[in-house]
Structure formats: C-alpha cells, structure tokens
C-alpha cells in the first residue's frame, strides 16, 4: 500500500519540459476561429462563425418580437435566455476578429516565454512553468468535455416525443420556410444544432483561452519571485556583499527581474486589450439578467418548477461572474506578493547601486494591477463580489420603480 501511495505521488509530479514544448492549443483555437493565419481554412471558419452567430441571434429574435402570445411563460424564459446569450456574443465576437493578431501574440509569448534570464533556469523554476503547462492540459480536456456535454444536453432538452409529433423544433426560432414535414423538421433541427455547436465553440475558446493565459500569468509571477529569492540569498556576509563581483552579479540579476516584471506588465495590458470588451459587456449583461430574473420572480406569479429553472439559469450566469471576479482578485494579489518579496530583501547588506535599483522597483509596484479597468468612466475596476451585488440591488430597485 505504501508503494502504491509513493507511485501515485510520483505520478503527480509535473513532467519537466522546455517552454517551446508547452501546449498552446493552436489547432483548437484555429478550428474555433480565434486564430487567423491567412490560410483559406481560417478565413472560411471566421466567415461561417460570424454568419452562424448573427443568424442565430436573428433566428431567436423574430418569434420574440412577433408571436409572444403563442408560447408559454416557460418557453418565453428559455427564449429570452438564449437571446441574451447570443446578443452578448454578437457584441464580443467582432472584437475577437479585429484583435486576432493580439491573440496570436499572447499565444506565442506563452510558447517562447515572456523573458529569457541571463542565467539558466534552475529545476525549481522549470517546475513552476511545467506545473502551469500540466494544469493547462488538464483544464483543456475538462473544458471541452463539459461544454460539449452541456451543449448536447441543452439541445436534447427540447427534443421529446410530444414536440416531435407537433413538428416543433427543440428551441423556438424562425426559418424562411414553414416546418410542415419531417424533412423540413430534420433540416431545422440540424440548423439549430449547427448554430448551437458554433456558439458553444466560441464559449469554449473564450473561457478556455482566458484561463490558459491567467494560469501562465500566475506562473510568471511565481517564476519572478523565485528568481529574485535566488538572486539575493539571505545571511550573505557583509564582506562578500560589498565585493565588485557580487555587485555585478546582483545588478545583472536585478536587471533580469526588472525586465521580466516589465514583460509581465506588457502581457497584462495585452490581456486587457483582447478581453476588455468581453469583461465589460459580460458584467453589464450579467447584472441585467440577474435583476430581470429577480423582477420576474417578485412581480409575476411563478410556480415552483419555473422558479427552479430560473434559479438554474442564474447559477450558470453567476459561475462566469465568480470566474472573472476571483481571477481579478488573484491578479491584484500577485502584484502585492511581488511587492512584499521586494521588501523582504535585506537592503542593508547590498551595495549602494543595488539599493537604489531595488527602491525604484518597489516604487513601480505601488499601483495595483486590476483585471477590470477597460474604461474608467464605466467604473468596472471592482475587486469584490459585493460590488456586483450592489449594482444588482440598485438595478432591481430601478425596475420596481418603473413598474
């Protein structure tokens, strides 16, 4: 039993790899349409993804505008949920197309490394990067399975014998032809399935790429702190610390840490440029959706089944809010940890030039990094979930006042 436990513990150790061998999921993101390398396949994929996404929004919007009286409250809530989701992606997807070179730049930096130190990496430093790579591989597999199974489940939820007898599609939508035969019903189901797969693939690409970049982002901060510890060991005798050779080595390693920190800040700015519109629009959409659910629950007589269904919708949306909010708090914490690491250096043992450079680096960490901060006028630079709750409560009161 002890041997089995040891073997299991050994298996959990990350496989040490060089950065150029790290998983970048280039092919997967190319299939989704987030990478445009100028090839014929990528151009066709981007065109199809854009067409299917906007047609799906139009497909679900027409029944919502023209024939709401034909559907039950339960069906209308499903339709409104689908419409809001497609509307969100219709706003975000064009920014992905415009900023596709930025996505390629972020992926290449992970593959090539943000910065190359003048000293070779130690085993501990390589382990930090390899652990992040292993986490990316595991997260990629889990994400694909979860989103694919979730998409199939949502589609099959609307497929039952009663609806099939009436030739009703799994989801409410409009087609330029009437669904009055089995062949047209099959075509309609196929079209809705393709639109759903397209939307799910975009969702997979968005949240998986966001998680990948944040995992490697955290690893870079850990690498930076580890390299700083190695560069300035504690309890160095004063006579050694004041020698010219020690001063040269310390300044060179300090310069490496300084340039690496600048590269991390640049990586952060690129993440904000690429995902900025998504973070802003998604926050607004989530607040409106949560308050709409609360408004309907309070103002309309809802049975237990529909209430449970709306709560499941709300839980799904809240999952994304937790993802962005917690990672936003992590980004700020990593910056504070780097600042504390700089303060932990024994300054009194260092030469004057080294002290001056360390002081400059400490000043460069005074302003915290924020995941939200797309436009200051929108005030989306929150670090706590309570801010989202305050927004939701204010918006809910506004809805009640309008009523």
pLDDT-derived band at 62 (thresholds 50, 70, 90) equals: confident
For the CA atoms of 117, 123, 126, 130, the dihedral, rounded to the nearest 10 degrees, stands at: 180
**275: buried, middle or exposed (CB in 10 Å: 19+, 13-18, 0-12)?**
buried
Nearest Cα residue to 77 out of 151, 172, 159: 172
- What span, in angstroms and rounded, lies between the C-alpha atoms of 241 and 243? 6
The model's pLDDT over 33-48, given as tens digits with 9 standing for 90+, comes to 888 888 888 889 999 9
Nearest of 222, 255, 233 to residue 346 by alpha carbon: 233
Lowest mean pLDDT among 123-137, 219-233, 309-323: 309-323
Please tell me the predicted confidence (pLDDT) of residue 3: 46
pLDDT of residue 403: 44
* pLDDT band for position 53 (cuts 50, 70, 90): very high
Q: Check residues 399 and 349 and name the one with the higher pLDDT.
A: 349
Mean pLDDT within 250-276: 84
Closest-CA residue to 223 (of 122, 107, 134): 122
Check residues 319 and 76 and name the one with the higher pLDDT.
Answer: 76
Residues in the chain: 403
Average per-residue pLDDT in the chain? 75
The mean pLDDT of 195-221, rounded to a whole number, is 86
The pLDDT of residue 381: 39
The dihedral sign for the CA sequence 105, 99, 272, 151: negative
Question: Which of the 8 DSSP states describes residue 35?
Answer: -
∠ CA(106), CA(109), CA(112), 5° rounding?
Answer: 155
Confidence of residue 20 (pLDDT cuts 50, 70, 90): low
* Low-confidence winner among 58-62, 114-118, 147-151, 298-302 (lowest mean pLDDT): 298-302
Question: Do 289 and 114 meet the contact criterion of CB atoms below 8 Å apart?
Answer: no
Helix intervals (H) in 232-351: 238-241, 244-299, 304-343
End-to-end CA distance of the chain: 67
| Positive or negative torsion for Cα 49, 54, 57, 60 | negative
pLDDT, position 9: 45
- In terms of pLDDT, which residue wins out, 305 or 58? 58
Do 353 and 251 meet the contact criterion of CB atoms below 8 Å apart?
yes
Burial class (CB in 10 A: 0-12, 13-18, 19+), 208: buried
Between CA 365 and CA 372 the distance in angstroms is 18
Please give the share of the chain, as a percent, with pLDDT higher than 70. Answer: 67
Query: Is residue 301 pLDDT above 70, yes or no?
Result: no
| Mean pLDDT, residues 240-248 taken together | 78
Q: Which of 87-91, 116-120, 285-289, 392-396 has the weakest average pLDDT?
A: 392-396
Angle 36-40-45 (CA atoms, 0-180°, nearest 5)? Answer: 60
Q: How many CB atoms within 10 Å of residue 238?
A: 8
Residue 378: pLDDT over 60: no
Overall average pLDDT of the 70-87 stretch: 76
Instruction: Determine whether 104 is exposed, middle or buried from the number of CB atoms within 10 Å of its CB (0-12, 13-18, 19+).
Output: middle
- Judge whether residue 130 has pLDDT over 70: yes
> Considering the entire predicted model, what is its pTM?
0.78
- CA dihedral (124, 126, 129, 132) positive or negative: negative
Q: What is the pLDDT of residue 51?
A: 92
- Sequential DSSP letters for 348-390: GGS-HHHHHHHHHHHHTTSSPP-S--S-GGGT----SHHHHHH
Q: Is the pLDDT of residue 69 over 70?
A: no
Retrieve residue 99's tokens: 């900023």
Q: State the average pLDDT over residues 192-214.
A: 85
The per-residue pLDDT for 247 is: 79
pLDDT at 402 over 50: no
Specify the higher pLDDT residue, 144 or 120.
Answer: 120
297 falls in which pLDDT band (50, 70, 90)? low
pLDDT for 348? 63
User: Distance between CA atoms of 5 and 118, rounded to whole angstroms?
Assistant: 39
312: nearest Cα among 332, 331, 279, 289 = 289
Average pLDDT value for residue range 348-377: 61
The answer to whether 188 and 169 have CB atoms below 8 angstroms apart is yes
Lowest mean pLDDT among 108-117, 123-132, 230-239, 285-294: 285-294
């Amino acid at each position: 039993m002890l041997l089995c436990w040891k073997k299991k513990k050994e298996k959990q150790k990350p496989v040490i790899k060089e950065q150029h061998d790290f998983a970048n999921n280039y092919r997967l993101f190319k299939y989704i349409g987030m990478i445009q390398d100028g090839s014929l396949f990528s151009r066709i994929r981007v065109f199809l993804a854009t067409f299917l996404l906007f047609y799906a929004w139009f497909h679900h919007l027409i029944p919502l505008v023209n024939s709401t009286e034909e559907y039950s409250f339960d069906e209308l809530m499903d339709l409104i949920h689908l419409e809001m989701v497609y509307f969100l992606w219709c706003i975000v997807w064009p920014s992905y197309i415009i900023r596709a070179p930025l996505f390629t730049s972020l992926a290449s930096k992970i593959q090539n490394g943000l910065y190359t130190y003048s000293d070779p990496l130690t085993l501990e430093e390589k382990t930090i990067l390899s652990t992040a790579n292993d986490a990316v591989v595991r997260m990629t597999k889990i994400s694909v399975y979860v989103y694919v199974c979730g998409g199939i489940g949502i589609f099959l939820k609307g497929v039952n014998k009663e609806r099939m007898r009436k030739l009703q599609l799994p989801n409410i939508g409009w087609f330029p032809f009437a669904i009055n035969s089995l062949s047209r019903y099959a075509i309609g189901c196929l079209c809705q399935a393709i639109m759903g797969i397209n939307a799910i693939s975009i969702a997979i690409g968005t949240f998986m790429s966001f998680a990948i970049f944040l995992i490697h982002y955290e690893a870079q901060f850990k690498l930076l702190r580890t390299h700083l510890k190695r560069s300035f060991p504690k309890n160095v005798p004063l006579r050694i610390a004041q020698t010219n050779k020690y001063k040269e080595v310390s300044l060179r390693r300090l310069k490496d840490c300084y340039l690496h920190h600048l590269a991390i800040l640049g990586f952060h700015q690129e993440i904000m440029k690429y995902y900025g519109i998504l973070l802003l629009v998604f926050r607004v959409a989530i607040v409106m959706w949560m308050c709409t659910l609360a408004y309907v629950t309070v103002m309309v007589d809802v049975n237990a089944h529909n209430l449970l269904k709306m709560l499941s919708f709300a839980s799904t949306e809240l999952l994304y809010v937790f993802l962005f909010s917690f990672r936003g708090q992590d980004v700020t914490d990593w910056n504070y940890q780097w600042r504390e690491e700089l303060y932990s250096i024994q300054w009194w043992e260092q030469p004057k030039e080294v002290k001056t450079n360390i002081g400059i680096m400490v000043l460069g960490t005074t302003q915290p990094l924020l995941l939200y901060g797309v436009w200051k006028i929108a005030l989306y630079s929150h670090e706590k979930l309570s801010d989202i709750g305050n927004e939701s409560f204010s918006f809910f009161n506004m809805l009640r006042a309008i009523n």
